[in-house]
Amino acid sequence: MNFDLTEEQVMIKKMMTEFADKEVAPFASENDREEKFPWDIVKKMGELGIFGTVIPEEYGGGGFDYISHAIVAEELGRVDSSVRGIYSVQISLVALTILKWGTEEQKKKYLPKLANGEILGCFGLTEPNSGSDVVSMQSSAVRDGDYYILNGNKMWITNGGVADIAIIFAKTDKSMGHKGITAFIVEKGVDGFSSKDIHNKLGLRASNTAELILQDVRVPKENILGNEGDGFKVAMSALDNGRYTVAAGCVGLAQGCYDVAKKYAVERVQFGKPIAGHQLVQELFADMIVEIEAGRLLVYRAGHLKNKHLPHTREVSMAKLFCSEMVNRVAYKALQVFGGYGFSSEFPIERYYRDARINTLYEGTSQIQKLIIANRELGISAF
Ligand code: CAA
């Protein structure tokens, strides 16, 4: 096993560290406070090819590997989880899903524009009454000649109100369980397709989260992603990518918590010396860094399997489970270092603490990750 980053990965890390510190971090607090979608940052990310990292060059991407993809998510997550979330959805849930399941025509049509940020995408799986239990979804797609008529509501959709295209999952055959679900690419602006932004979230306040409403939306049959009935597998394989970048983003956010706490601990003097010199504070730092390093190794291990095109669902769920829980423990400890100052928005740790919380919930709760891991370990499904 080689634990060193390649020259290319080192270069990407350096570039992303600079980008995150100069172009993202200075605006994060204001965007969070005002719930402002970071359009300027998204535009710059598009121009620099950041949305194209892992997309093959033939479709306008950078053709980089999955460790590089994780590094980008880490560096963005280190300073602003809202921006990291935009990146994750755009590439992991949308572009990579089109890359895996799309026709050549669909790939040529959408991937270059997703890779250069000309269009944004979103992933419409969750519904008001269907979260963990994907198969209970109510959205329907009924064939009408060369079209399907889609009806339904999608909930908690990251990028939902700003996206130009959505991958929408709907039932084409209600009697077929998970085999009756189909994935469609639906373009914004088509009649009957609208969105409603969700405000006042605990965290990720600069990222757009919306409800999607589909009322008799006519979608051409050419816009099916995969085949009719493949939708559940399309969704699960997309989540293998999505959960990977969530895990990487958690490592980055945890590193961000650690970094700001360290800076504070060496400056803040109590009992005649910097608090970093007190043993109980040192314990907090030792606990944090061990957990961050462990999470990073789980992410890179999953990325290594992805690079080799080997099965990786179990390893991705392990990384997502550990890192999303870990970042909450680290954010708690980092905030503890700040004492009362951590409770105010004067320092970014307050935002980091709020942003950490979503990670054990979206793209499959921690409980769902445990079921996926146990299912693969024991060979028996809990369902
Ligand atoms: N890749 C490809 N195919 C897969 C797969 C994967 N990772 N996992 C399972 N499948 C296939 C299986 O091979 C099986 O295929 P066959 O029918 O051919 O045998 C089929 O899917 C069914 O598999 P399982 O029986 O293992 O599936 P399950 O019913 O046990 O899965 C579940 C249940 C794990 C709970 C699943 O429903 C699940 O992951 N739920 C959570 C959903 C979720 O994460 N939602 C988050 C939404 S995204 C989001 O948060 C929005 C956002 O904008 C951020």
Taking the domains of the chain in order of start, what are their residue ranges?
A: 7-120, 122-230, 233-378
Residue 161 has pLDDT above 80, yes or no: yes
Residue 287 has pLDDT above 90, yes or no: yes
Name the average pLDDT for the chain.
97
Amino acid 79 reads V
Whether 30 is catalytic: no
Q: Which residues pair with 194 in a beta bridge?
A: 213
Ligand 1: which of 84, 90, 125, 236 to mutate, judged by most atoms within 8 Å of the beta carbon?
Answer: 236
121-124 and 165-171 strand pairing: parallel
pLDDT of residue 382: 84
Residue 383 has pLDDT above 90, yes or no: no
pLDDT in tens, 298-326: 999 999 999 999 999 999 999 999 999 99
Superfamily of domain 122-230: Butyryl-CoA Dehydrogenase, subunit A, domain 2 (2.40.110.10)
Whose C-alpha lies nearest to ligand 1, atom 47? 363
pLDDT in tens, 330-356: 999 999 999 999 999 999 999 999 999
CA 133 to ligand 1 center in whole angstroms: 9
> Is the minimum distance from the CB of 381 to ligand 1 under 6 angstroms?
yes
Residue 1 has pLDDT above 80, yes or no: no
> Is the minimum distance from the CB of 125 to ligand 1 under 6 angstroms?
yes
> Is the minimum distance from the CB of 169 to ligand 1 under 6 angstroms?
no
CA 152 to ligand 1 center in whole angstroms: 20
Rounded to an integer, what distance in angstroms lies between the CA atom of residue 2 and that of residue 6? 10
pLDDT in tens, 169-191: 999 999 999 999 999 999 999 99
Burial class (CB in 10 A: 0-12, 13-18, 19+), 273: exposed
Nearest ligand 1 atom, CA 134:
37
Amino acid 115 reads A
Q: Which residues pair with 168 in a beta bridge?
A: 124, 184
Whose C-alpha lies nearest to ligand 1, atom 40? 132
239-263 average pLDDT score? 98
Nearest ligand 1 atom, CA 131:
45
What are the C-alpha distances in Å from 1 to residues 7, 67, 297, 300, 319?
17, 14, 12, 12, 18
* Model confidence band, residue 213 (pLDDT cutoffs 50, 70, 90): very high
CATH number of 7-120: 1.10.540.10
CB 249 within 8 A of CB 326: no
Q: Which residues pair with 339 in a beta bridge?
A: none
Whose C-alpha lies nearest to ligand 1, atom 24? 381
> Is the minimum distance from the CB of 244 to ligand 1 under 6 angstroms?
no
Burial class (CB in 10 A: 0-12, 13-18, 19+), 270: exposed
CB 305 within 8 A of CB 315: yes
Ligand 1: which of 134, 197, 237, 320 to mutate, judged by most atoms within 8 Å of the beta carbon?
Answer: 134
> Is the minimum distance from the CB of 178 to ligand 1 under 6 angstroms?
yes
pLDDT of residue 26: 98
Closest CA relative to residue 8, chosen from 57, 67, 88, 58 = 67
Can you tell me whether residue 185 is helix, strand or coil? strand
Amino acid 285 reads F
Running DSSP on this structure, what letter comes out for residue 127? B
Helix residue ranges per DSSP H, the chain: 7-19, 25-34, 39-47, 66-79, 81-88, 96-101, 104-115, 231-267, 279-307, 313-338, 349-356, 366-378
- The neighbour count for residue 380, using CB atoms within 10 Å, is 7
What are the C-alpha distances in Å from 350 to residues 119, 147, 266, 354?
32, 49, 19, 7
Q: Which residue has the tokens 């390893």?
A: 315
pLDDT cut 90: percent of the chain above it: 98
pLDDT in tens, 125-147: 999 999 999 999 999 999 999 99
Whose C-alpha lies nearest to ligand 1, atom 20? 233
Rounded to an integer, what distance in angstroms lies between the CA atom of residue 111 and that of residue 121? 10
pLDDT of residue 11: 97
pLDDT in tens, 40-53: 999 999 999 999 99
> Is the minimum distance from the CB of 130 to ligand 1 under 6 angstroms?
no
CB 217 within 8 A of CB 187: no
Token readout for 21 is 């510190």
Rounded to an integer, what distance in angstroms lies between the CA atom of residue 279 and that of residue 103? 59
Q: Which of 30, 57, 363, 377 is catalytic?
A: 363
Residue 128 backbone phi and psi in degrees, to 5: -55, -35
> Is the minimum distance from the CB of 370 to ligand 1 under 6 angstroms?
no
CATH 3.30.1490.100 fits 233-378, yes or no: no
> Is the minimum distance from the CB of 136 to ligand 1 under 6 angstroms?
no
Token readout for 195 is 């969105």
Whose C-alpha lies nearest to ligand 1, atom 28? 383
Rounded to an integer, what distance in angstroms lies between the CA atom of residue 125 and that of residue 133? 11
> Is the minimum distance from the CB of 153 to ligand 1 under 6 angstroms?
no
